[in-house]
Amino acid sequence: MSAKTNLKKSNEPLSCTSETSLGKEQLLEMYRFVKMTRMFDEKTVTLKRQAKLTGGVFTSLGQEATAVGTAFALGEQDIIAPLIRDIGAVFVKGILPRTIFAQYLGRANAPSRATDVQFHFADLEKGFVGPISHLGDMIPVMTGILLAARMKKENRVAVAGKNWKVGKVPDADKLDFRDVEAFDANTAYLLSIGNGESSRIYKTIDGGVTWKLQFKNTNEKAFFDALAFWDKNNGIAMSDPIDGKYVLISTDNGGQNWKPVSTDKMPNAKQGEAAFAASGTCLLTNGKSDVYLVSGGNDARVFRSNNRGLSWFVADTPIVKGTAGSGIFSIAMQDKMRGAIVGGNYEKPNEINNNLASTNDGGKSWIAGKGLNGYRSGVAFVDKKTIIAVGSSGSDISFDGGKTWKNLDKENYNSVQAKGKNAIWTVGANGLVAKFLMNKQ
């Protein structure tokens, strides 16, 4: 959708639709959605006053057009995550008013089955992802959706609320984005992987409207796998080893400068040992100064630093090793002492041995675990007791800190992130995006 505004020197009111590519039928369709939104909101207010609705009512009275217009401009393949006053966008995406009323009325046939209200649910086939909470919580979700689309080489747009829109990174058609770090509605970093100049870091400070290239690798032997941040200004990125040493760069000014980090005080990588860029979680920051790097290939070890990479220690693990496709693929820390690593052999995704280990001493030692149903490329703590692991052969969950595990499904996942029990998202092959609902288990 495009529109031009005619600037006039007279006192006549400005018009944003005097010249537009929209036809009469399209304008009438938009008006229908605006009218539908107004009627829906008025009805919900009436029902709320009659004490027939559960939960709060958040109307969009007076701002219907912003939500409708935003969603109307999207294609069928695009995704939107509207906020609580953007009900018009939900209607444009094909969700019927009766579905939302079923949510409000607590009906058993509602999408959330009477466990939540309004549009706190998702219909990915229609390109609609319900809000978790405020806008900031949806940014990592929508970024993950776009990352999955980018890996599939799909041209998609994702919108969170009405103001955070992610478009195309310039001159990046051939790049493979594997890691993202988002901090707020405006600030995010992207890392692309690959040999030589294919390894790059981009940053946006306007919610994805524009992306600035901050770092382009010039070492033909380097292959950057991941980046991680302690806060929006202080971060670190890593490449596979060159001549037995991992290559590290860091920033302390929001990426304005990425400087090499000396690895003189870092143990050498072994021959054939490297990191996996499968989920962007082979590198992890924790707290104010801790950083972890996990490896695979001919060895499966955990490198750790307590001073932002100035000096390092390394620990052996029981994770399977010895082939190009085996090792540790992901690490997660619940706090300074407790953590988990997962991996296996991605060439044998159904093998269940030596794919899990945990630490209770901050990574100094790692104890083998059991219960995962195959190779896993991503792991995340939901809370102190709940852990989720995902991979190409499915996903598993533990409710007792990793002692026992339950298989959830056999889908093909790549990565998982969690922000509490109500915000657990995973992405996978063929554009797969899934939200795990704890209340259904």
The residue from 129, 153, 182 where one domain ends is 129
Assess whether 309 and 196 both reside in one domain.
Answer: yes
Domain end: 129, 151, 184, which one?
129
Do 102 and 249 fall within a single domain?
Answer: no
- Give the pLDDT score at 429: 65
Claim to verify: residue 51 and residue 195 sit in the same structural domain = no
Together in a domain, 292 and 378: yes
CATH of the domain at 411: 2.130.10.10
Q: Return the structure tokens found at 394.
A: 């499915």
User: Is residue 421 one of the residues assigned to a domain?
Assistant: yes
Does residue 236 lie within any of the structural domains? yes
Same domain, 412 and 352: yes
Task: Based on the fold, state whether residues 172 and 244 are members of the same structural domain.
Answer: yes
Give the model's pLDDT for residue 153: 73
Last residue of a domain, one of 108, 129, 150: 129
For residues 124 and 171, membership in a common domain is answered with no
Q: Does residue 209 form part of some domain? A: yes
Domain containing residue 272: 167-440
Structure confidence by residue, pLDDT tens digits, 229-249: 999 999 999 999 999 999 999
The verdict on 220 and 283 lying in the same domain is yes
Position 117 scores a pLDDT of 66
| 109 in any annotated domain | yes
Residue 104 is predicted with a pLDDT of 81
End-to-end CA distance of the chain: 42
CA distance 18 to 312: 64
Whether residues 47 and 98 fall in one domain? yes
How far apart are the C-alpha atoms of 255 and 95, rounded to whole Å? 41
Q: Is residue 137 part of a domain?
A: no
What does pLDDT average to in each consecutive run of 10 residues of the chain (441 residues)?
Answer: 30 45 85 92 86 76 85 84 82 89 83 72 81 63 76 74 53 77 82 90 83 93 94 95 96 96 96 88 95 97 97 98 95 96 94 96 97 95 94 93 93 84 74 64 43
Is position 268 within any domain?
yes
Paired tokens of 45: 């207010």
Digit-coded pLDDT (tens) for 398-431 = 999 999 999 998 888 888 888 778 778 787 766 5
Same domain, 196 and 339: yes
Q: Do the domain assignments include residue 426?
A: yes
Q: Which residue has the tokens 């369709």?
A: 29
Q: Let me know whether 364 and 413 are in one domain.
A: yes
**Structural domains counted in the chain:** 2
| One domain for residues 122 and 69 | yes
Query: Considering the domain boundaries, does residue 6 fall inside one?
Result: no
Rounded distance between C-alpha atoms, residue 432 and residue 373, angstroms: 20
Rounded distance between C-alpha atoms, residue 372 and residue 236, angstroms: 30
